[in-house]
């Protein structure tokens, strides 16, 4: 049995670090690194991050595709993706924990008005700012899946008034659940700090648009760590410039990398991070993949198989 690590774009060596962990935790299995695939008929499992379109159809004995991230929208754009092979999204403790850290950090940053304090410092102005108790700060999580649900729970622990919106109803202790298009406006109207952790689908592409933003309270802050396609960039810039949206923290963009001339880089009320809200860690991701392989070899499906019709 051969595992192929298929990650063509790896400028930092993030994914190459999987090799020694795979070799240590799966000593009886062959491991190859794309493009050195060897005989393609020997490849039974592949761990991928943005493989080249059309490449995955070459492996005719493929039994599963393990995506090294939570989002599979880029993979699903490949019309040649084998439709009879399970596509598995990564759900592991480090990926979930990293995203929760990012969301909680930026919610706290906006709650405590840190961007305004930073601007005061640059002006050498001593300007104490008031902020409410956490129980009086309304935070909203757009998307209550594995990542959004964990972030919501941690924000409840801080005492925030937390609500979430999702496609279908969710039940999380301490979190007010809204669902479906009919309840989106009510959710937005009550949300002062919004974090988007939705999957990118045909229904959520461009969801953060002018109409959406207008339904948030004046001065609301936005955190987008979902996908760049969720945000209509010109609409967000207009809402920031008008003052209706107070601040934005953006980790994902279309396209990536964010072009050097893009106004987000220098906008006084935008924080840009380079799609690193959460990173996969080999020590926790590899055991998840190996457990999925073990399930397949027992005749079971891996956990977290993607529903291709839903897009996640």
| Per-residue pLDDT tens digits for 51-102 | 999 999 999 999 999 999 999 999 999 999 999 999 999 999 999 999 999 9
pLDDT at 13: 87
pLDDT at 11: 85
From 89, 111, 167, 227, active-site residue: 227
Q: What are phi and psi of 20, to 5 degrees?
A: -60, -30
Give the CATH number of domain 2-92+280-297.
Answer: 3.40.50.720
DSSP H or E stretch at residue 178: strand 175-179
pLDDT at 12: 84
The DSSP line for 191-256 is: -SEEEE-----TTTTT-BSHHHHHTSPTTEEEEE-S-GGGB-HHHHHHHHHHTSEEEEEE---SSS
pLDDT at 295: 98
Q: What are phi and psi of 220, to 5 degrees?
A: -60, 155
Q: Which residues in the chain show pLDDT less than 70? A: none
Q: Which fold has domain 94-272?
A: Rossmann fold (3.40.50)
From 57, 113, 179, 275, active-site residue: 275
Q: Do domains 2-92+280-297 and 94-272 have the same CATH topology?
A: yes
Paired tokens of 162: 């937390």
pLDDT at 148: 98
Domain boundaries, the chain: 2-92+280-297, 94-272
Helix boundaries (H) for the chain: 18-25, 73-76, 93-111, 114-122, 146-157, 180-189, 210-214, 233-242, 282-297
CA 10 to CA 20: how far, in whole Å? 16
227 given a catalytic annotation: yes
């Amino acid at each position: 049995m051969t595992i192929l690590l298929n990650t063509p774009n790896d400028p930092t060596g993030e994914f190459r670090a999987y090799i020694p962990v795979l070799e240590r935790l799966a000593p009886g299995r062959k491991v190859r690194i794309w493009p050195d695939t060897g005989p393609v008929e020997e490849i039974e499992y592949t761990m991928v991050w943005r493989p080249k379109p059309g490449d995955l159809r070459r492996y005719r004995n493929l039994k599963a595709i393990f995506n090294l991230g939570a989002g599979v929208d880029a993979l699903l754009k490949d019309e040649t993706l084998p439709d009879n092979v399970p596509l598995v999204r990564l759900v592991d403790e480090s990926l979930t924990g990293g995203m929760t850290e990012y969301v909680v950090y930026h919610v706290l940053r906006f709650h405590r008005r840190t961007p305004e304090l930073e601007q005061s410092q640059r002006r050498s102005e001593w300007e104490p700012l008031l902020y409410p108790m956490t129980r009086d700060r309304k935070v909203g999580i757009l998307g209550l899946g594995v990542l959004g649900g964990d972030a919501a729970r941690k924000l409840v622990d801080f005492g925030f008034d937390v609500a979430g919106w999702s496609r279908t109803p969710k039940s999380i202790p301490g979190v007010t659940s809204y669902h479906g298009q009919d309840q989106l406006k009510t959710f937005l109207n009550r949300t002062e700090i919004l974090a988007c952790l939705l999957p990118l689908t045909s229904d959520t592409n461009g969801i953060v648009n002018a109409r959406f933003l207008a339904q948030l309270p004046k001065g609301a802050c936005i955190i987008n760590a979902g996908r760049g396609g969720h945000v209509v960039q010109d609409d967000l810039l207009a809402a920031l410039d008008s003052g209706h949206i107070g601040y934005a923290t953006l980790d994902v963009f279309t396209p990536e990398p964010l072009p050097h001339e893009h106004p987000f880089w220098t906008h006084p009320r935008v924080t840009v991070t380079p799609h690193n809200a959460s990173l996969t860690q080999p020590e926790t991701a590899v055991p998840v993949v190996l457990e999925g392989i073990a399930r397949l070899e027992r005749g079971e499906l891996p956990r977290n198989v993607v529903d291709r019709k839903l897009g996640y």
